[in-house]
Amino acid sequence: MTALSKEYLLLFNAVTDAEQALFQLRETLLESQRQAEELFLEETAWDDPPGEARPVS
């Protein structure tokens, strides 16, 4: 097996760490979006009488 240079290992590890951080950030953003949508739907449900929808702007 060929030995890998220190530079390659450093770069590979940095890319791997960045990929993991971006994945976690994506999951955090998706969860925040879900929560925001739930809050919006809860508020909309209380504001509108049954059977009537508020126009979307």
Residue-range domain boundaries for the chain? 20-44
* pLDDT tens, position by position, 8-57: 999 999 999 999 999 999 999 999 999 999 999 998 887 666 566 666 66
* pLDDT tens, position by position, 2-15: 788 999 999 999 99
Q: Which of 36, 55, 54 is nearest to 45 (CA)?
A: 54
Q: Could you tell me the pTM of the whole model?
A: 0.64
